[in-house]
Amino acid sequence: MITFKTVVKRGRAWLPLIGLNSLIASGVTLALPTILGRSVDSIVADDGYTKWLIAAAALIALGVMANLVDAFAGAACVADTTAWLRHRLVKQVVHSGPEGTRDFETGDLVTRVSANATDAAQAGPAAVTAIAAIAPPIGSLVLLAFIDPWLAAAFFGGVLLVIAVLWTFARRTADVSLAYQETQGRIASLLSESLTGIRTIAAAGTTTREERRILGLLPELHKHGMVTWRILARSGAQAAIVGPLVLVAVLAVGGLQLVDHRITAGEWFAASQYAVIGAGLGSLTGVIGGLARAKAGVHRAAEVLKVPTVAHGTLSLPTGPGRLTFDSVSVETNGNVLLDNVNLDLPGGATVAVVGPSGAGKSVLAAVAARLRDPSTGQVTLDGVPLQAINRHALRSAVGCAFERPQLVGRTIGDAIEPDAVSPIRTLAAARATHAHDFVSRLPDGYFTSLRKAPMSGGERQRLGLARAWSANRLLVLDDATSSLDTATEMQISRTLTEDRHRRTRLIVTHRPATAARADLVIWLDRGRVRAVAPHADLWRNDSYREIFG
Ligand SMILES: Nc1ncnc2c1ncn2[C@@H]1O[C@H](COP(=O)(O)OP(=O)(O)OP(=O)(O)O)[C@@H](O)[C@H]1O
């Protein structure tokens, strides 16, 4: 979990430097009026004012240096914290599995990892700047008290009003910053949704409607932006009224004390400069706005970091044939039962087809068998070891999955088959077995062809998806993974699968009776329940079974 405090702490390598330079800048701000006041008194008394002017110039140079170092350290701190936060967010998203981030829209997640992470990373520098900004008014108060207690009293009263204005601003701006970031995330989600379905949109001729749908949230964003500006304008106006009041109060009290010879002209001048420092507190709205955005960014990052990651066990798999068992497995989500008390014992090395009407729970069963989601109750074991107890490496070496619409990942075609390209021979063998090699070898750069630039049909994508799963050594879970292939290629792959010389267990979700016929066993699913487990030929006698295939 992260909080505002943990994000601030992350910048600890830079924050002392930022704080120190802010304090130096504050010290300069505080010392300058006194030095200038002395210069005024020396000029009036015609008493060696050069040294005071040199001191003032040196102070100004120091202030400029401090501000430069502060700006550099602030930028470095934000960059470092942003990188750290993005690293954590991406790790969490990737490790939470397909189910973990289901409640988040893709575009919204991208916004949280990109723009909002940068907002959140401002937390440290903004907090230190805000704290350091308190130093000059406190110093002013002390120094004014040294000059004359009445000046300090007038200053204190005025500054209290400025603080009240800032406090109200901080409270109002926090909520609207979060609302703004949330709306930005929703716009990004709509855009990413449209990009995913861009072909459907073009085919349906609904591009204008889509444009309106995405941009339909702009008025809401505009509203939040306007509220932010209104709050800023109101607070700015209040600060603009209250700020000069500090100045007028101190000048008036100082004037009376000057007339009564209780202070010198130089002290009156210094007091006026300190009053300006107090009045300038009102300009802190920018820093407070930054704090509010940082708080909202941290909130949105924390929501992602709350998602549980998939925990893997530590066990390796003993030698075994790939026997897969489901023991009283149920899957429930939001009160819906997707799998209901499924009990299966599938012999190692068997080809098992999963059939059933649309929505029967075939994909859910496949996902549970491959540990892409965990059962709500019950347990799945592979060669006697619960899937949840197997370590990640052993699990992913043992179990391969291919899907109807594979999302290919990597830079090249070769990467998409085997990400780390450990063994080109294995990549080639997988591509040959799944008939991907035929079309890959026709591409200009073969396996080195950029994935993004390779034109691919649905069936070609499926063949690459199959090739990727192929290297698993014990269980292959294929969820409608050959549905886009032509009958001849499907037959060939199906034969390769049936005659698999590695004798892996194969769980094949299918809508094709021919695939079910070639399997050793068929699991017939209906509304999340196992209706029968038997060879296709036996089930074929049942009218309801035949109806599944239309
Ligand atoms: N993460 C989820 N949250 C809520 N409901 C889900 C989830 N995943 C699947 N479902 C629901 O579970 C039911 C079974 O879905 P599943 O994808 O397993 O069906 P299927 O048998 O593979 O269907 P098809 O043949 O159409 O692909 C469906 O009603 C689906 O809406």
Instruction: Give residue 377 CA to ligand 1 midpoint distance, Å.
Output: 18
Strand duo 521-526 + 529-534: pairing: antiparallel
For residue 525, what are the β-bridge partners?
Answer: 530
- Check whether residue 293 and residue 337 sit in a common domain: no
Q: Is 220 found in the same domain as 95?
A: yes
Same domain? 295 vs 356 = no
523, 339 in Cβ contact below 8 A? Answer: no
The number of the ligand 1 atom at minimal distance from the alpha carbon of 102 is 1
Centre of ligand 1 to C-alpha 481, Å, is 16
Segment (H or E) for 534:
strand 529-534
Domain boundary among 247, 272, 305: 305
Residue 231 lies in a domain: yes
Distance CA 482, CA 475 (A): 17
**Ligand 1 atom at minimal distance to the Cα of residue 334:** 4
pTM of the model: 0.79
pLDDT of residue 422: 66
Q: Residue 318 has what pLDDT? A: 92
- Tell me whether residue 230 is in a domain: yes
In a domain, 527, yes or no: yes
Q: Which residues contact 546 (CB under 8 A, 6 or more apart)?
A: 540
Q: CB of 224 within 8 A of CB of 186?
A: no
pLDDT, residue 421, reads: 64
CA distances from 198 to 206, 208, 313 (A): 10, 12, 41
Q: Using CA atoms, how far apart are residues 323 and 314, in angstroms rounded to an integer? A: 20
Q: What is the CATH number of the domain that holds 61?
A: 1.20.1560.10
Helix axes 50-95, 15-45, angle to 10 degrees: 160
Rounded to the nearest angstrom, the distance between the alpha carbon of 238 and the centre of ligand 1 is 57
Strand partners, 336: 333
Whether residues 271 and 385 fall in one domain: no
- Which one of 363, 483, 515 would you pick to mutate in the ligand 1 pocket, going by the greatest count of ligand atoms within 8 A of its CB? 363
| Pocket-testing residue among 103, 364, 523, ligand 1, by greatest number of atoms within 8 A of Cβ | 364
Residue 358 exposed, middle or buried by CB count within 10 Å (0-12, 13-18, 19+): exposed
CA of 530 to the centre of ligand 1 (A): 15
Cβ proximity of 177 and 99 under 8 Å = no
Q: Are residues 382 and 462 in the same domain?
A: yes
Domain count, the chain: 2
Asked if 263 and 330 sit in the same domain, the reply is no
Integer Cα distance of 20 and 62 in angstroms: 13
Closest-CA residue to 497 (of 426, 418, 402, 415): 402
Hey, CA dihedral for 518, 524, 530, 534, is it positive or negative?
Answer: negative
Same domain, 195 and 338: no
Identify whether residues 354 and 493 lie together within a single domain.
yes
Tokens of 65: 């240096």
Same domain, 300 and 332: no
Mutate to test the pocket of ligand 1, among 333, 336, 337, 338 (most ligand atoms within 8 A of CB): 338
In a domain, 311, yes or no: no
Residue 510 lies in a domain: yes
Nearest CA to 137 among 29, 287, 236? 29
Question: Dihedral of CA 261/265/268/270: which sign?
Answer: negative
Specify if 375 maps to a domain: yes
Q: Nearest residue CA, atom 16 of ligand 1?
A: 361
Q: Which two tokens stand for residue 112?
A: 């949280």
Q: Can you tell me which atom of ligand 1 is nearest the CA of 367?
A: 18
Give the integer Cα–Cα distance in Å for 417 and 374. 26
For residues 140 and 274, the answer to whether their CB atoms sit within 8 Å is yes
pLDDT at 304: 94
* 332, 285: one domain: no
Looking at the domain assignment, is residue 173 inside a domain?
yes
Are 341 and 478 in a shared domain?
yes
- The rounded distance, in Å, linking the Cα atoms of 487 and 1 is 51
User: Does residue 415 sit in the same domain as residue 287?
Assistant: no
Final residue of a structural domain among 272, 305, 338? 305
- Type of residue found at 261: H
pLDDT along the chain (550 residues), means of 10: 92 90 84 84 83 89 91 94 96 88 90 95 90 82 90 89 87 90 94 90 89 93 92 86 84 91 88 80 81 94 92 91 95 93 94 93 95 94 95 92 85 84 78 87 86 82 88 90 78 75 87 90 95 94 89
Residue 394 tokens read as 């052993």
d(CA 356, CA 548): 6
Range of the domain at 168: 4-305
Ligand 1 shell residues, CB under 6 Å = 102, 333, 336, 338, 356, 358-364
Nearest protein CA to atom 27 of ligand 1, as residue: 358
Q: 159 and 278 in contact (C-beta within 8 Å)?
A: yes
Side chain identity, residue 63: G
| Letter string b/e over residues 437-455, b meaning 16 or more CB atoms within 10 A of that residue's CB | bebbeebeeebebebeebe
Rounded-to-integer distance, Cα 434 and Cα 470, Å? 8
Residue 411 lies in a domain: yes
Determine the 3-state secondary structure of 67 from DSSP. helix
